[in-house]
Amino acid sequence: MAVIDPDRLFPADPSTRTIARELYAHVRDLPLLSPHGHVDPRMLAEDQQLPAPAALFVSPDHYLTRMLFSQGVHPRSLGVPDRAGKVHVSDREAWRTFCENWYLFRGTPSRGWLEQSLTEIFGVSTPLGPGTADQVYDELTERISAPEFRPRALLKRFGLEVLATTDAATGDLSHHAKLASELSGVRVIPTFRPDAVTDPSRPDWLSSVESLGSLTGDDVGTWAGYLDALARRREEFKAAGATATDHGVPTAQTADLDAGSAARLYDWLRVAATSEEGVSPKDAELFRAQMLTEMARMSVDDGLVMQLHPGSLRNHNRALYDELGLDVGGDIPMPTDYVNGLRPLLDRFGNDPRLRLVLFTLDETSYSRELAPLAGVYPALYLGPAWWFYDSPEGMRRFRELTTETAGFYNTVGFTDDTRAFPSIPVRHDVARRVDCAFLARLVAEHRLPADEAAETAVDLAYNLPKRAYRLEGE
Amino acid sequence: MAVIDPDRLFPADPSTRTIARELYAHVRDLPLLSPHGHVDPRMLAEDQQLPAPAALFVSPDHYLTRMLFSQGVHPRSLGVPDRAGKVHVSDREAWRTFCENWYLFRGTPSRGWLEQSLTEIFGVSTPLGPGTADQVYDELTERISAPEFRPRALLKRFGLEVLATTDAATGDLSHHAKLASELSGVRVIPTFRPDAVTDPSRPDWLSSVESLGSLTGDDVGTWAGYLDALARRREEFKAAGATATDHGVPTAQTADLDAGSAARLYDWLRVAATSEEGVSPKDAELFRAQMLTEMARMSVDDGLVMQLHPGSLRNHNRALYDELGLDVGGDIPMPTDYVNGLRPLLDRFGNDPRLRLVLFTLDETSYSRELAPLAGVYPALYLGPAWWFYDSPEGMRRFRELTTETAGFYNTVGFTDDTRAFPSIPVRHDVARRVDCAFLARLVAEHRLPADEAAETAVDLAYNLPKRAYRLEGE
Amino acid sequence: MAVIDPDRLFPADPSTRTIARELYAHVRDLPLLSPHGHVDPRMLAEDQQLPAPAALFVSPDHYLTRMLFSQGVHPRSLGVPDRAGKVHVSDREAWRTFCENWYLFRGTPSRGWLEQSLTEIFGVSTPLGPGTADQVYDELTERISAPEFRPRALLKRFGLEVLATTDAATGDLSHHAKLASELSGVRVIPTFRPDAVTDPSRPDWLSSVESLGSLTGDDVGTWAGYLDALARRREEFKAAGATATDHGVPTAQTADLDAGSAARLYDWLRVAATSEEGVSPKDAELFRAQMLTEMARMSVDDGLVMQLHPGSLRNHNRALYDELGLDVGGDIPMPTDYVNGLRPLLDRFGNDPRLRLVLFTLDETSYSRELAPLAGVYPALYLGPAWWFYDSPEGMRRFRELTTETAGFYNTVGFTDDTRAFPSIPVRHDVARRVDCAFLARLVAEHRLPADEAAETAVDLAYNLPKRAYRLEGE
């Protein structure tokens, strides 16, 4: 893949490209803010050597494994462990299988991320392919074993200012404490993700709630105690550096029950969860809906930024899930209704400047029809960047084209990377910066925005907006 | 903002831009037709001096006030009156607050409209911003007080041939009579908008219907009398110059009840409206649906062009509405079903050339999936231009990209501006002409349409199509 | 229309256009594969002279007749026969009417197809229009009567390798037998389309099922016999060269009933179909849903590729349908749910490499939200090309932009033309090749894909992918 072209992702028209280059020069070397992601804090706390190439790049990356599976390459042959944790191929074999099928990723963001990571982060410029699998494998193995490729060395080299992880409400914050005491120049902070204790449709809901109660000392047998435990736990996350919560939900439905009804629903769900029939989908939906509003209320109190990631139908591919478990590629988007769904929450807190609710979507039809109009009127609402399947050059372009005219740039939070692939973080940001500069360059070239304001906006999108939106200014 | 660049909104590629320029030369100076809008006829009838800058440009413009509110600037501080009509800041203070937040409008059509209006209409070329607020305010104030900035002087300067206002079924047509007798070279005509008397979910439905009856002398206590009153009132609008009706409805649902059922529904709604429970949403929806078909029937008879604006959930932001009332920015689009919704009406009148039904949408997913296929087969159907949140460069481009291949250009009505901001009318048309020329230029540059046919099409979109669609030829 | 420009449909930017030209040089002269279409096999079997110009190009083309009808030109005046089969105008009159309204097709794919067909296939380069109607008519008439414009001569000249027709389950395969014995260098093969025998909402369902039983000798009075008849008939199609089945359904709903329930449903439907009330919509939907899964099961067994074309509301324009019958332009797309709809089928067969299920859509919102994510994980799923209203330059571009990043190129089947207009086949392929090269050229110009890989991909999309997807390799 040779060296990455300096004009990558810029429009081909020479005058627009020149403008894009100039804008990009303003943002290229800005520090990175990663206020939402899925890096394992233990890896950083222990400064573990990165895993072998396939285990680093291939098997944990569901973008790669789902595409390969769709073309008949089983995840097992890529080193994805089965439910018992057993891996069935050597790392080198997995890497070879991946390289043989490299052509499948033409036109995908995965190709771009990997190419640019290998070249710019690992200095491996041999083009990928069946013929070069072993050579690249050996080069990578050598790099990985070098001290400058340890996680903490990379953290520094990447210019990361803040890296947020995503953590269960009952999660262990000791890694974060260690990191806070040992690192300087970068904050690695947790994010409060309470899905396991707020979604009664999960088989482990009740046990997760009990764990939460044990952790905080609250009586989670009552609605009041359950809410207290959540509030207390949020405070502990905040003390550990957290500035945000995150909520993964099937729909964007919210509810605003009176306290008595909410308590009765909670009591009933504790009974239903242990009954033979289990929790009904309708009751679970209502409880999740109510809990979003409760979380918003707590955010008003404690200032944690609330993130909402709705609209994924998890584990659509039943056989794949049965064999391999969560996150191996069977999640599929669904149509998502924000306009009616969010209304109960917004009626209570939508105009409250203390709440900051960042919305994501897997349903692009909502960009111009629902999300931009909502974010363009409610003070509490912000738009998260193009997410998941749309965290890609075309997806990001559509996001700007479809939201800017109604919501502007300043109701968006700039870029957050949402990756679990630690070494690809700088590349993800670089792609976003390039695509945003390309969009701004078009506005300049079409005389819709002066160049100086475009440059200021580019810097805001890359740095100032995420800093402000996620309240990362202070310590 | 200096002088507006002559290539504004044209594609950057030099060959395409050259073509766009040539096409634009054919349409730039064509007269303006504004067959749908919200200018106040009294302002023109009395030739009132335009209000002060903030009251002219800021407080009545919900595009501006909603964006500013979304970033924490309260409408009150922009001079929006409360429900009691009280304004809480001076006009100059409101203007300063607006200018301080001018950067929020980067990338939005509002910025483009305002920049171009100030420069080209008011000759104010000082760039807007916090530092220039007072200077621009003073320049504007001077212009506004000059006789050549009186509404009628502007009407003439704009080259308007027809300006339609939007008027309640019970509205006062005396301003239009005065204008008809006093103006020459331009027609200011009313549009019949009967929502208040056709939507029984409104609290003022029954009283509006009674007013209608008083006005026409019909017995609106019966279904037949109610229909007579509407037909008679339409005739009065027509006599006052109207060529169209307009219908703002939550959905595009239509119905075709037999006369007996329709009469029974009307009778029942008159009872329900005064009952404690009020009108049920389902009954209201059915009545609105039936009334669309009745209006289509009357259009077949009297030739008034029927416009349908469905899909807005009004006053989504409850607190904002409670404080400030209608049209202050809480309206949000909803998914809209045209395929099933319009079918009862189309079964009756869809193939009747006497009906002309112009469809608008706030749900862009319907462009290629529903609206273009429907307009591309039913003789009665025409597509209105990109509306509201989409009346913008990107929105207009998507409209053409998504509808032209199935519906062509000639099932659309060209451009109508839909603005309440009188001094921005020429700018709105200029933007649309530029964007359509940019789209046509791409077709020419890609050898999909010869340049001479593109030029003819550009003229049709800018002038001939609205003239034909809205039956503006006569008088 | 003079000569078709060699750069037609290529982006105007000179560097991107140069790349597009280079890519196109690799695919321009590749043989054509047409594994899905609606050419009449009898025409080929009998090598009939093509019909007169309007009967060739206008009256059978619902793209043309619906557009003209939408602007007040009745299909009768274009030579469309009424339900009694009577044609009301001369072919020349029909042609003149068409030419008078030629401007309506500006910006539509129909214009492009026809221009290019006339010029490149028929050597008629006089621009179409009211003034040239008779001249073009005469030129065309001359060409059509020449031996080199007989269907078989054209087949050869077009470089067609495979041409699939679409045939009812009870269809006559004798034309295909004749063609197989007489043609060399090209295969004309049938496609098994069983809608008439799998959709109990059709008035002719029961009689079609009986015909099927007579044909195969199975007792279609039982569920088992009905399934046997279908399986046997599929084998006969396969023996006649078929490699695929095709299924036109209102929705993508599938079902996976146990054998007993399915049998009871079948038994009940046979009763209901002869009852006064007829078959309920719900029962019909469930049966169609079940039959899709049965067809998938049979495809696993016999290897026929399964095509699914859901989402068309047929005959929306009731008056047009009543007067003229099927396929005259009243079909309108509907929102289509693939994520939930396909799940029962996918749970059974989605990961089975023996199944190949090609999905089409008339709901573009599903491209990025549903279809690409599904095809990007299920081994059995492939995406068919942009279909019907979207089989057009803008539609094809959106297809690639919205699906490639998630599904890649290799989960698509390349191009299939789906046309009933035999002489336009090469043009349809040429348009698709140009648009795909334009898309690939942008990736190259933006340094997202090396030129050599783009060229390989262009060839795959034009030739290798349809060959592989439709299992056309063998004899």
Report chain B residues whose CB lies below 8 A from the CB of A442.
Answer: 12
By C-alpha distance, the chain C residue nearest B457 is: C106
CA distance A56 to chain B (A): 40
Q: Which three-class secondary structure state does DSSP give residue B95?
A: helix
Q: What is the pLDDT of residues C26-74, one digit of tens each?
A: 999 999 999 999 999 999 999 999 999 999 999 999 999 999 999 999 9
**Three-class SS state of C312:** strand
* pLDDT tens digit sequence for C275-305: 999 999 999 999 999 999 999 999 999 999 9
Q: Contact B193/B168 with Cβ under 8 angstroms? A: yes
Average pLDDT in chain A: 96
Measure B419 CA to nearest chain A CA, in Å: 16
What is the mean pLDDT of the segment spanning B42-58?
Answer: 97
Q: Nearest CA to B415 among B459, B378, B372?
A: B459
- C415 CB contacts (<8 Å, ≥6 apart)? C385, C428, C429, C432, C433, C436, C461, C462, C466
Q: Do C109 and B347 touch (CB under 8 A)?
A: no
* A-chain residue closest to C18, CA distance: A12
> Contact A447/B394, CB-based, under 8 Å?
no
- Name the burial class of residue C31, with classes exposed (0-12), middle (13-18) and buried (19+) by CB atoms within 10 angstroms of its CB: middle
Residues A105, A110, A114, A116, CA torsion sign: positive
What residue type is B71 in one-letter code? Q
Q: Tell me, what's the pLDDT at B372?
A: 98
Q: Which tokens in the block code for residue C7?
A: 């750069």
Beta bridge partners of A308: A247, A359
Give the pLDDT of residue B475: 47
What proportion of chain B, given as a percentage, has pLDDT over 70?
99
Q: Print pLDDT tens along chain A (475 aa).
A: 457 999 999 999 999 999 999 999 999 999 999 999 999 999 999 999 999 999 999 999 999 999 999 999 999 999 999 999 999 999 999 999 999 999 999 999 999 999 999 999 999 989 999 999 999 999 999 999 999 999 999 999 999 999 999 999 999 999 999 999 999 999 999 999 999 999 999 999 999 999 999 999 999 999 999 999 999 999 999 999 999 999 999 999 999 999 999 999 999 999 999 999 999 999 999 999 999 999 999 999 999 999 999 999 999 999 999 999 888 878 999 999 999 999 999 999 999 999 999 999 999 999 999 999 999 999 999 999 999 999 999 999 999 999 999 999 999 999 999 988 899 999 999 999 999 999 999 999 999 999 999 999 999 999 999 999 999 986 4
| C97, C78 contact by CB (below 8 A) | yes
CA–CA dist A305, A471 (Å, integer): 8
Whether the pLDDT of residue C1 is over 70: the answer is no
Chains that touch A (3 or more CB pairs under 8 A): B, C
Residue A164's DSSP bridge partners are: A189
Please give, rounded to a whole number of angstroms, the shortest distance from the CA of A406 to a CA of chain B: 6
Record: contact B365-A365, CB cut-off 8 A:
yes
Question: Cβ–Cβ of A107/C339 closer than 8 Å?
Answer: no
CB contacts, 8 Å: B439 with chain A: none
Chain C residues in contact with A319 (beta carbon < 8 A)? 347, 350-351
**What b/e sequence results for B46-69 when a residue is b if at least 16 CB atoms lie within 10 Å of its CB, and e otherwise?**
eeeebebbbbbbbbbbbbbbbbbb
Task: Name the region of A418 (left: φ>0; alpha: ψ -120 to 50; beta: rest).
Answer: left
Q: Which residue in chain A is spatially nearest to C371 when comparing CA positions?
A: A332
**Chain A neighbors of C13, CB-CB under 8 A:** 12-13
Chain B residues within 8 A of A457 when measuring between CB atoms: 106-107
Contacts of residue A351 in chain B, CB cutoff 8 Å? 317, 319-320
At residue C360, does pLDDT exceed 80?
yes
Q: Which residues make Cβ contacts (< 8 Å) with residue A74, sequence separation at least 6?
A: none
Q: Note whether A379 contacts B72, CB cutoff 8 Å.
A: yes
pTM over 0.90: yes
Query: So what's the pLDDT on residue B329?
Result: 73
- A336-356 confidence digits (pLDDT tens): 999 999 999 999 999 999 999
- Which of the residues C339, C345, C369, C464 would you substitute to probe the A interface, choosing the one with the greatest number of A C-beta atoms within 10 Å? C369
Cα separation, A461 vs A449, in Å, equals: 15
- Candidates B23, B366, B368: best to mutate against C (most CBs of C within 10 A) is B368
Select the residue of A4, A9, A67 nearest C376 (Cβ to Cβ): A67
Give A275-343 as a DSSP string. Answer: SSS---HHHHHHHHHHHHHHHHHHHHHH-PEEEEEE-EETT-SHHHHHHH-TTSS--EE-----TTTTH
- Nearest chain B Cα distance for residue A97, angstroms: 40
- The tokens for C394 are 């803008």
State the nearest Cα–Cα gap between B382 and chain A, in angstroms.
22
Contact C442 A318 (CB under 8 A): no
Identity of residue C167: D
Q: Identify the band that residue B474 occupies on the pLDDT scale cut at 50, 70 and 90.
A: low
Q: Which residues of B touch C72 (CB under 8 A)?
A: 353, 379
What is the DSSP code string of B173-196? -HHHHHHHHH--S-EEE--EE-HH
In this structure, what token pair is assigned to residue C74?
């009745």
pLDDT of residue C474: 67
Q: Which residues of C touch B11 (CB under 8 A)?
A: 12
In the numeric block, which tokens belong to residue C399? 């297809």
Put simply, the answer to whether C378 touches A104 (Cβ < 8 Å) is no
Q: Which residues contact B201 (CB under 8 A, 6 or more apart)?
A: B279, B281, B284, B288
For C414-449, write each residue's pLDDT tens digit: 999 998 889 999 999 999 999 999 999 999 999 999
Contact C389 B409 (CB under 8 A): no
Mutate to test the interface with A, among B78, B316, B320 (most CBs of A within 10 A): B316
Place of tokens 């054509």: C32
CB-closest option in C4, C12, C329 to B377:
C329
CA distance linking residue A326 with residue A316, whole number of Å? 11
As a whole number, mean pLDDT of residues C398-412 equals: 98
Instruction: Give pLDDT, residue B473.
Output: 87
Q: What is the pLDDT of residues B229-247, one digit of tens each?
A: 999 999 999 999 999 999 9
Distance (Å, rounded) from C-alpha B402 to C-alpha B369?
9
CA B335 to chain C, closest CA, distance in angstroms equals 11
Q: d(Cα A388, Cα A241) in Å, to the nearest integer?
A: 26
Q: List strands edge to edge, sheet with C381-383.
A: C167-168, C192-193, C244-249, C305-310, C357-359, C381-383
> Does A107 contact C404 at a Cβ distance shorter than 8 Å?
yes
- What's the pLDDT tens digit per position in C152-204? 999 999 999 999 999 999 999 999 999 999 999 999 999 999 999 999 999 99
Give the strand pairing for B332-333 and B312-313: antiparallel
CB contact under 8 A, B317 and A368: no
Task: Give the per-residue pLDDT at C326.
Answer: 84
Name every residue whose Cβ is closer than 8 Å to that of residue A382 and which is 6 or more positions away in sequence: A356, A357, A358, A359, A375, A411, A412, A413, A469
How far is the C-alpha of A433 from the C-alpha of A436, rounded, in Å? Answer: 5
With contacts defined as CB-CB under 8 Å, which chain B residues touch C316?
339, 343, 346, 374, 377
Q: At what angle do helices B425-445 and B109-116 cross, to 10 degrees?
A: 120
Q: Using CB atoms within 10 A of its CB, is residue A163 exposed (0-12), middle (13-18) or buried (19+)?
A: buried
A/C interface, count of CB pairs below 8 Å: 129
d(CA A208, CA A196): 6
- pLDDT bucket at C327, cuts 50 / 70 / 90: confident
